[in-house]
Amino acid sequence: MTRKILLVDDSPVARKILRKCIPEDGCFEIFEASDGLDGLKKFEEINPDITFMDLTMPVMDGMEALGEIKKRNKDALVIIQTADTQIKSVFMAMELGAFMVLKKPISKDSIKAVLKEADGALQTER
């Protein structure tokens, strides 16, 4: 079964890196958005299984977008990606219902592990 993944990051490079880290085994269909507002729009359009969300973005930041997504679908699986792992931000993201906070820089291994964990959560949900 193909899972839909939405990547929300204002940096094209960050999206490219993430794309490269997601296994190309046909299990994932990838969509991209370049800021929080665009991310929210795409989220409504495609209803992704997993959303990767950057925190600092123009127009609408990741924290706000996370809140909005959760308002629309409280079960949405959103993974926050950030290098800034200050307690205050991490706590806020978890409070808003993030599935996890993933520390940048990412690697193929860390993304593989995260996707496995997300998959597990999606299975039990169904």
Partner 1 sequence: MSVFSMDIGTAQEVILTGEEIDIFQEVMNIAFGQASADLAEILDAFVVLNVPEVRMLDESALPDLIREGAGPGALSIIEQSYWGKLSGKTVLFFPASAREGLARLFGEFSREDALACAEKEIFLEAGNFIAGGCIARLANCLDDLVTYTAPRSAEILERNADKKTSPTLRRIAAVKIPFSIDKHGVSGLLILTASHESIPWLKTSLKRFMEQYG
Catalog residues that contact partner 1 under the rule CB under 8 A.
11-14, 16-17, 20-21, 56, 82-88, 104-105, 107-108
CB of 2 to partner 1, least distance (A): 22
CB of 72 to partner 1, least distance (A): 27
CB of 4 to partner 1, least distance (A): 22
Please give the Cα distance from 87 to 45 (Å, whole number).
33
Residue 75 bridge partners (DSSP): none
Nearer CB in complex with partner 1: 64/121 = 64
Nearer CB in complex with partner 1: 20/72 = 20
Please give the Cα distance from 15 to 31 (Å, whole number).
10
Nearer CB in complex with partner 1: 58/120 = 58
- Which residues contact residue 110 at a Cβ distance below 8 angstroms, ignoring those fewer than 6 apart? 21, 102
Closest CA to 97 of 51, 57, 56: 51
CB of 8 to partner 1, least distance (A): 14
Please give the Cα distance from 73 to 56 (Å, whole number).
22
